[in-house]
Chains A and B, each alone.
Chain A
């Protein structure tokens, strides 16, 4: 592969990138020699046995997952590319490969210019060292030269707002100060290509604005940025184009709005496999179709739209709607029957169309995948027809607390709780 022939417009060129993990290899973090020797022996024994059988099975094909496979794309110089996708879609792996932390198993990538990465804030910090010392250490770790750090030192300190504590060990810093200093060092790296994981917006709202501003500046200076995020608003705001990864494969790349729309709309097609109509033949009533869409609403939120078609062979009074929302692991989030909601309608013969709507549903639910079950009843009396997994719903992430993390259904539970905390009293003991 010749590195020198790269198109001069391009900052990044990835060709068929693939990265695999052996499942045992990443789960058993503290692998011991005994395990390895054991599996080695087992493998030898198996090989011997399979030789005897005349069967050939490559031991390499088992227990391997491809975190990334066949991913090819190019990024022009000065382009700001958003990388979106669900948890485990390969976004972080892609960044790790492009930053040379992890080595690909297939394909190759060529990168023009100095690469800076922001995969975690405070990379290289040591708690025992002072803010001043850590600026130098972290700067060096991120790839800055000493004289470069000297030159930018005051700017870094000022941006982080830690002037008074610059000679205090960072282990005594508040977590906010720590994050600000960490981000500040990284933000002054001035790389030609900046790779950012969504740690970007850390700290309080004001500092977040500073961070987004800084990223905007970097982008405005014609530098290339790769921005991994679950936060569709941030991606929409900052990125010219977006790349959508799905189970390690590149699903789509293109203008931001298009890709995000396709990503959100993907919730509709996925996972249900219901064949319509689904009828209760005895009563001659059932579902003729269900369509779910997550559409942009006010203030960057997304509204849930559920279109229902009820097919009735004859008129039927007082038919109730039931709806249940589950996480994709099967935990109940909401169970709404017609007793509670009073969603009761008289059905006309033929097709009856309904629109259910839940405004700003991604301000209510944590990021993740959900499943919707629907049913019809003779109101308050008897069940008519049930549609399990009528639709799948994918909620994009919301950084509710401004910590740079999004609320995740599996880690934090399904509900977005706009919790706040404020200090009502402070007693200063020192300084």
Chain B
């Protein structure tokens, strides 16, 4: 039963749709067709998020650059200089920045996704639209920040004289997409849970912190021995960060087995997150 949405259509006028409203229980279909009908709203939500994000800030969009850059500086001083953490033979600043760039995008996407329903509670309680749009727009809305911060990476590569090969650059969009899918998957889980249990807002900062140390952002994954290094791929962000370093800095071989493991984990997170979200959806308007 597809329930909400279009279940019948008369011949003549397209506006003469008949909408069926009925109780739905258990696992509900994703109804991606309904999402497609509301694609313009998705676009407007993303546009709003971007537009509003740096309103009434002094530095505006430069925050998108300042955050990872300052983190990179701090990491370089403490982890690179003082703790002398190895960086696979490339300068520690660019090593950590190549990890921080996708990580920052992921962490922001996760946090915004988790908070999306609560933030838009007023809308959810007052208008109908496919609720999936909310977390999706929150996560996707982080892309411009990601692209801005990317410019810094390019500048650093020029400065350090590190240039990628054409063949390795292919890993860049793949890794970015993997980060997006993972952030979306986790974001969907957390958004739905956050609507029902406000504990989530306290869990998210811890989660991102632990997750960052479980990801080779400040250290190289070469510190791990096989088979642990491959199993490490169960955390999709490992492959994302590794993919970035490999494609841009040409160090360390891409490990296909690790990548496949990450991809599978990531897709499981996304699909289960989407279904879990849909399952909880009937409760959102009443509990938010």
Residues of A within 8 A of B (CB): 1-4, 6, 21, 25-26, 29-34, 36, 96-115, 117, 119-120, 123-124, 126, 128-129, 133, 136-137, 140-143, 145-146, 192
Contacts and interface: CB of A to CB of B under 8 A. Distances in A.
Contact of A111 (B21, B55, B123, B282): B21
Contact of A113 (B16, B125, B196): B16
A36 B40 CA distance: 37
The 4 closest A-B pairs by CB, nearest first: A3-B8, A100-B128, A108-B22, A4-B8
10 contacts: A2-B8, A3-B18, A31-B197, A98-B21, A100-B4, A104-B23, A124-B123, A137-B44, A141-B127, A146-B40
Contact of A129 (B19, B48, B126, B285): B48
A101 B48 contact: no
Contact of A117 (B17, B22, B127): B127
A102 B285 contact: yes
B108 to A, nearest CB: 19
B20 A101 contact: no
A1 B18 contact: no
B258 to A, nearest CB: 34
Contacts of A100: 4, 19, 21, 128
Given A36-B197, A99-B127, A99-B128, A110 B44 contact: no
Contacts of A114: 15, 17
B5 to A, nearest CB: 9
A191 to B, nearest CB: 9
A3 B197 contact: no
B193 to A, nearest CB: 9
Nearest to A111: B19
B51 interface: yes
Contact of A123 (B8, B126, B198): B126
B191 to A, nearest CB: 15
Given A32-B197, A99-B127, A123-B127, A141 B18 contact: no
A375 to B, nearest CB: 46
Given A112-B18, A141-B44, A128 B56 contact: yes
A129 B52 contact: yes
A22 B21 CA distance: 21
A141 B123 contact: yes
Given A3-B20, A140-B44, A101 B127 contact: yes
A141 B41 contact: yes
Contacts of A124: 123, 127
Contacts of B22: 1, 104, 107-109
A133 B155 CA distance: 35
Interface in B232-246: none
A32 B18 contact: no
Given A31-B198, A31-B287, A32-B197, A140 B40 contact: yes
Contact of B23 (A3, A31, A103): A103
A64 B244 CA distance: 53
A133 B123 CA distance: 17
A102 B56 CA distance: 35
A142 B41 CA distance: 9
Interface string B95-132: 00000000000000000000000000011111111000
A109 B16 CA distance: 16
Contact of B20 (A110, A115, A129): A110
A116 B21 CA distance: 15
A104 B7 contact: no
B24 interface: yes
